[in-house]
A and B are shown apart, each in its own frame.
Chain A
Amino acid sequence: MSDAALNRRFDRLRVLEETGKLKSRSRSRAVSKLMNNRLAVVGLCLFTIILLASLFAPLLTGYDPLRIDLRGRLQPPSWQHWFGTDMTGRDVFSRVLYGGRISILVGLGSALIAAVIGVGIGCYAGYKGGWLDAFVLRTSEVFMAFPQIILVLLLVSILGQSLINLIIIFVITGWGPMYRLTRARMLSLREEEYVQALQSFGVSTFKICYKHILPNALGPIMVNITLTTAMFILAEAGLSFLGLGVPLQIPTWGNILNAAQDLRVLQNYWWIWLPVGTVISLFVISVNFIGDGLRDSTDPSQQG
């Protein structure tokens, strides 16, 4: 291609850019990059399928997850009961679907609340510094000094078992890392020139923090929210498996697995615990794939 032809091409591109016609494409660069990541797409599909299946559980199964049918106990998988029935004759497939609602709610809900609190404080405190920042930082260090599972169990023993308490406990254990991540981003972003410009215009601190700096720190925060969601879903499953999570009468993925503590169930009735364990694993894998894809598409320095 000759120089003149190349120049003409660049000129055309520049015209497009200046008239703003290229903008919509460049804005979706992160999204299109995410879509090019095969694992992230697989993750998104799995995530959507499991999420929709739980949300629309009543359409997919006619069985009540709580209805006990002692005559139909411990049936192996069949056309009537896709995942068989459990010790008290409840349909395992419908329990997995309805259980997904609570498990996803606990995982995603606690991660989001923890993020709102951690990011909310971290953004302001990281920007302002001073005693507030020092105090919150020390507090988060105290909570993060505990091994996670020990802190969770300790709080369970103090607060007692309920769905709300479990979310509170997860938020208590999860806000610290979010706070520190946001704070670390703020510490470097607040030195940028545009922040100095905003300050010199007399824009209020709140506006600078939440409207102008925070959007630039969102990438790593989003990644952290997905990874925290995965962690909480695993934690809920583990706790309920121990019988210390969500009260046993509410179906959740962990509570269904709780039955597998009995060696007879483990040996003879695989359909009670194997499918639900697989569903948990698939869901957490999908969340992790999405998180990894997000990291690659939002933070080019982390690619590998």
Chain B
Amino acid sequence: MGTFILRRILILIPMLVAISFLIYLGLELTPGDAVSHMIPPDVANTLSAEDLEALREQLGLNQPFLLRFWIWLTNVLQGNFGHSLEAGVAIKDIFLDRLPATLELSGFAILFSTIIGCFLGTISALRRGSATDNSLTVVGMLGVSIPEFFFGLVALSFFALHLEWLPVGGRLMPGYDSFWDRAPHLVLPVLVLSLMMTAGVMRYSRAAMLDALSREYIRTARAKGLPGWRVNLLHGLRTALTPVVVLIGFRLPALIGGSVIIELVFQWPGLGNEFIAAVRGQDYPLVMMIALFSVLAMLLASLIIDVLTALIDPRVRLE
């Protein structure tokens, strides 16, 4: 298992280097002086032209391209992501400020969608061809077809504007200090996001469960006279879980990428909202770093998937 994990990590490294190189290339090619995003602008404004030149020399900005890339990379690895152009804030601080909100929203959504999706998918597979199965299939299709932001708008206009049960948006208001204060703000975006994600999990777990139930060992287990629930849950669901884990793993990057538009609809102050604002304001350093960060999350997720599938399904380890 140890060598398996190590091998997976080693595979990731060239990928990471290639992507960070592209991101750095993007940073160099887009407008904006490199000095301005490597040091805080208010400091930069107080400097004379000679000082700036000296600073360039000191930061290594006059070095050849590959060396500049290396300096930037070591900076990033040490947690120095540079500064945003717009507000001049350190990008690291923006991450620390916005990430909890995004993780809170998507974390709940992933949790709920996984539980509901696996449950419905399993039921659908066990009652294959029944009215329940057919209607769940159609509902699942609706779930992947309705634009998530449109569903969000409908929910927003109905529950928040029409019935006035829930707040319209936002997350932290003055005087909020515990989780329960902001829980009402969380309900609608989490509801919308998890329903949208449920459809995918459901379709996937249904297919996985059907596949598992058609195997020979299931027939053997039934022939042995094991009770139906034991066959379905212990023999069927366990094998069906492998692809579902893969799916959840693929959803993990959705912790950052999946909620981008929903965050805007509900004015949720997360990383996705920040990303949209950065794209609109052409704040290239911020755009690039959030993109890099999301890639990191995605690659990390793929690593976790590999390890988890290897844990559940020993055959994977032998490949």
Partners in one complex: yes
Chain A contacts to B: CB under 8 angstroms? 39, 138, 141-142, 145-151, 153-154, 156-158, 230, 234, 237-238, 241-244, 257, 260-261, 263, 266-267, 270, 273-274, 277, 280-281, 284-285, 287-289, 292, 304
From A151, A158, A270, A280, residue with most partner B Cβ within 10 Å: A158
Q: Which A residues lie within 8 Å of B168 (CB)?
A: 263
Report the Cα distance A223→B48, complex, angstroms: 61
In the assembled complex, the Cα of A149 lies from the Cα of B149 at a distance in Å of 13
Look across to chain A and name the residue whose beta carbon is closest to the beta carbon of B294.
A150
Closest chain A residue to B156, Cβ basis: A266
Contact indicator A150/B147 (Cβ below 8 Å): no
Q: Name the CB-closest residue of B to A139.
A: B18
Most chain B CB within 10 A, of A157, A238, A257, A292, is at A157
Which of chain A's residues have a CB closer than 8 A to the CB of B149?
A: 237-238, 241, 257
Pick the residue among A138, A150, A238, A242 that contacts B257 (CB under 8 A). A150
Q: Which of B15, B147, B207, B254 contacts A145 (CB 8 A)?
A: B15
- Interface check B87, CB cutoff 8 A: no
Kindly state the separation between the CA atoms of A242 and B276 in the bound complex, as whole angstroms. 8
In the complex, the chain A residue whose C-beta lies closest to that of B259 is A149
A243 with B280: in contact, given A39-B138, A263-B168, A304-B207 (CB under 8 Å)?
yes
Residues A153 and B15 in contact, CB atoms below 8 Å apart: no
Given A277-B154, A280-B150, 8 more pairs with CB closer than 8 A: A147-B253, A147-B297, A149-B258, A153-B276, A241-B149, A243-B280, A260-B153, A277-B150
With a cutoff of 8 Å between Cβ atoms, the chain B residues found around residue A260 in the complex are: 153
Across the two chains, which residue of chain B brings its CB closest to A287?
B145
In the complex, residue of chain B having the shortest beta-carbon distance to the beta carbon of A291: B141
1/0 contact trace for B135-152 toward A, CB 8 Å?
000100110111111100
Q: Is B206 an interface residue (CB 8 A)?
A: yes
Prevailing SS type, chain A contact patch: helix
Chain B 279-317, CB within 8 Å of chain A: the 1/0 string? 110101001101100110111000000000000000000
Query: Given A142-B18, A153-B279, does the pair A242, B264 have CB atoms closer than 8 Å?
Result: yes
Q: Are B287 and A146 in contact (CB under 8 A)?
A: no
Chain B residues with CB under 8 A of A241 = 147, 149, 261
Q: Which residues of the other chain, B, contact A145 by a CB distance below 8 angstroms?
A: 15, 19, 295, 298-299
Structural contact, A288 and B260, CB atoms closer than 8 A: no
CA distance A260 to B279 in the complex (A): 20
Q: Kindly state whether residue B22 has any CB partner on chain A within 8 Å.
A: yes
A-B residue pairs in contact (CB < 8 Å), sample of 9: A147-B254, A149-B261, A150-B291, A153-B279, A154-B26, A234-B145, A241-B261, A267-B157, A288-B141
Q: Is B81 at the interface (CB under 8 A from chain A)?
A: no
CB pair A281 B154 closer than 8 Å:
no
Give, as a whole number of angstroms, the nearest-CB distance from B288 to chain A: 8
Q: Which residue of B lies closest to A278 (CB)?
A: B150
Q: Considering the chains assembled together, what is the distance between the CA atoms of A260 and B151 in angstroms?
A: 12
B200 CB to closest chain A CB, in angstroms?
Answer: 12
The answer for the CA separation of A147 and B256 in the assembled complex, in Å, is: 8
Task: State A292–B287 Cα separation when bound (angstroms).
Answer: 36
- Please give me the 5 A-B residue pairs with the lowest Cβ-Cβ distance, nearest first: A147-B257, A277-B150, A285-B145, A284-B145, A267-B161
Residues of B within 8 A of A149 (CB): 257-258, 260-261
Residue of A nearest to B256 (CB): A147
Contacts of A237 in B (CB 8 A): 147, 149-150
| Inter-chain contacts of A292 with B (CB < 8 A) | 141
Q: Is B275 an interface residue (CB 8 A)?
A: yes
With contacts A244-B280, A281-B145 taken as known, whether A157 is within 8 angstroms of B153 at the C-beta atoms is: no
Report A-chain residues with C-beta under 8 Å of the C-beta of B257. Answer: 147-150
Query: CA A266 – CA B260 in complex, angstroms?
Result: 20
Complex CA–CA separation, A260 to B288 (angstroms): 29
Q: Which residues of the partner chain B approach A156 to less than 8 Å between Cβ atoms?
A: 279
In the complex formed, the residue of B with least CB distance to A39 is B138
Query: Which residues between 249 and 279 of chain B lie within 8 Å of chain A, taking CB atoms?
Result: 253-254, 256-258, 260-261, 264, 275-276, 278-279
| A67 → chain B closest CB, angstroms | 26
CB distance from B164 to the nearest CB of A (A): 11
Question: Are B294 and A146 interface neighbours, CB within 8 A?
Answer: yes
Are A230 and B145 in contact, with the CB atoms below 8 A? Answer: yes
C-alpha spacing A157/B148, complex, angstroms: 22
Q: Is the CB of B144 within 8 A of A157?
A: no
**Chain B proximity of A286: nearest CB distance (Å):** 9
Give Cα A288 to B206, complex, Å. 17
Q: Assuming A153-B275, A263-B168, is B294 touching A147 (CB within 8 A)? A: yes
Interface residues of B in 117-176 (CB under 8 A from A): 128, 138, 141-142, 144-150, 153-154, 156-157, 161-162, 168
User: How many angstroms from the CA of A241 to the CA of B22 in the assembled complex?
Assistant: 28
| Shortest CB distance A90–B (Å) | 20
B287 touches A154 (CB 8 A): yes
Interchain CB contact under 8 A, B295 and A285: no
Assess whether A142 is in contact with B161, with CB atoms less than 8 Å apart. Answer: no
- The smallest C-beta distance from B244 to any residue of chain A, in angstroms, reads 15
- In the complex, the answer to whether B290 meets A150 with C-beta atoms within 8 Å is yes
* Residues of the A chain whose Cβ atoms lie less than 8 Å from the Cβ of B220: none
Chain B contacts for A273, CB-based, 8 A: 150, 153
Complexed CA–CA distance, A267 and B26 (Å) = 41
Cα–Cα, bound, A238→B276 (Å): 12
Among A146, A150, A154, A243, chain B packs the most CB atoms within 10 A around the CB of A150
Q: Report A-chain residues with C-beta under 8 Å of the C-beta of B148.
A: 238
A151 to B295, CA, bound (A): 9
Measured CB to CB, the nearest residue on chain B to A237 is B147
Q: Please tell me if B210 contacts chain A, counting CB pairs below 8 Å.
A: yes
